Amino acid sequence: MRIGQSVLAGLLVALAAAGASAQTFIVPRAKQPPKIDGRIEPAEWAASAGFEGFGFDGKLQQRRAQAWVAATADTLYVAVRSQLPSEGSLAAEVTADSLKAVYDDAVEVFVNPYLTPGDSPGAKYSTPDAGKQVNYQFLSNSLGKGGYGVHTKGGAEENVAWQGGWTHASTLHDGVWDFECAIPIATMPAAGAARKATDGLWKINLTRDWKNPWEWSSLSAEGGAFAFSGCVFKFVAEAAPAVQVVAASDPFVAPFEHVLRVHNPSAQALDLVASLALTRNNMPELREEAPLKCLHRRQEEGRGPADPVQLRVLPVPR
């Protein structure tokens, strides 16, 4: 994804899930927070980065999941929508808060704020390859029962009994499980005192623990431990587009269609160049590219604030 004015806003395209963690995703700071009621509404998440498809070990998983990542000045927000089983119901045996909810169908949230001060002289915040890191974990089943964990490496220190107290909600409706979560930055000691979302970088991973059959998949599509994997995000206060990838149909059933949505939440018009690529195992890459003019709010002339500019990849025949 190439964007003018030296703003990078690449997204994990589900069909090319491998390698996403090497990118930094630029996300505009939201002016209004989404409502954490367990019902993902597009207008509430319009100023977020949107992802289609979770993977494992670089491969897209067939069971469908979507994710959204956003931030206000002092809070991070994440949401996950995943399909319900075609037969039966979600595994939800844990009825009291416990990390044992991982044995149910569950969503996990990992946030690595990077330690402050940074490892290099004069740096305020450390970088993704810093030696000392702390990763905060929350997991929940569809009943809203779960627990917190903390992971460290490189000699970093954190209270192993840490509890985040994050606000979260879930609903089951229309064949999907919606999960939403608000993460106040102040609840993560390693983030540093009075830190804002726009200060430094954040590594975030979202995972779906599937049952019947048992599988794991994540936003970063990496294999192995999820705690220190993830995608790197930079939240910005200046004008920047919110970029989302949406599957208009099942990517495992040909022909299929993917849509790149670009929304401008700022008061400044943006001239963009957007590309949507499909990398295939044994066939040439497919790419659609176009210039986009994202009008600012006062120029939209009848377009609602959540109506995006869209770029489509044409259906792929068998």
Structure tokens at 152: 């460290």
Per-residue pLDDT at 161: 96
Q: Find the farthest-apart pair of alpha carbons in the chain and give their distance in angstroms, rounded.
A: 56
**pLDDT category, 118, cuts 50, 70, 90?**
low
% of the chain at pLDDT higher than 90: 55
Per-residue pLDDT at 122: 52
pLDDT tens for each residue of 259-304: 888 888 888 888 888 777 777 778 888 888 878 777 654 433 334 4
Per-residue pLDDT at 242: 93
Contact (Cβ atoms closer than 8 angstroms) between residue 239 and residue 270: yes
Domain at 14-313: CATH code: 2.60.40.1190
Structure tokens at 273: 């160049």
% of the chain at pLDDT higher than 70: 81
Q: Please state which of the ranges 10-14, 60-64, 101-105, 158-162 shows the lowest mean pLDDT.
A: 10-14
Contact (Cβ atoms closer than 8 angstroms) between residue 201 and residue 220: no
More confident residue, 298 or 233: 233
- Computed on alpha carbons and rounded to an integer, the radius of gyration of the chain in Å comes to 19
Query: How would you classify the pairing of strands 59-60 and 65-71?
Result: unpaired
DSSP state of 21: G
More confident residue, 266 or 88: 88
The pLDDT of residue 150 is above 90:
yes
Per-residue pLDDT at 278: 75
pTM of the model as a whole: 0.86
Residue 191, phi then psi, degrees to nearest 5: -70, -25
Per-residue pLDDT at 149: 97
Per-residue pLDDT at 177: 98
Per-residue pLDDT averaged across 53-73, rounded? Answer: 95
More confident residue, 259 or 18: 259
Q: Please state which of the ranges 147-156, 253-262, 308-317 shows the lowest mean pLDDT.
A: 308-317
More confident residue, 167 or 122: 167
The pLDDT of residue 21 is above 70:
no
Residue 267's CB is within 10 A of a number of other CB atoms, namely 10
CA distances from 64 to 47, 82, 83, 207, 282 (A): 22, 6, 6, 12, 23
Find all residues with CB under 8 Å of 239, minimum gap 6, and list them: 28, 264, 266, 267, 268, 270
Nearest residue to 236 (alpha-carbon basis) of 9, 14, 1: 9
Per-residue pLDDT averaged across 176-182, rounded? Answer: 98
Measured CA to CA, the distance from residue 166 to residue 110 in angstroms comes to 12
Per-residue pLDDT at 254: 79
Question: What is the chain's length?
Answer: 318
Domain ranges of the chain: 14-313
Contact (Cβ atoms closer than 8 angstroms) between residue 215 and residue 61: yes
The pLDDT of residue 206 is above 50:
yes
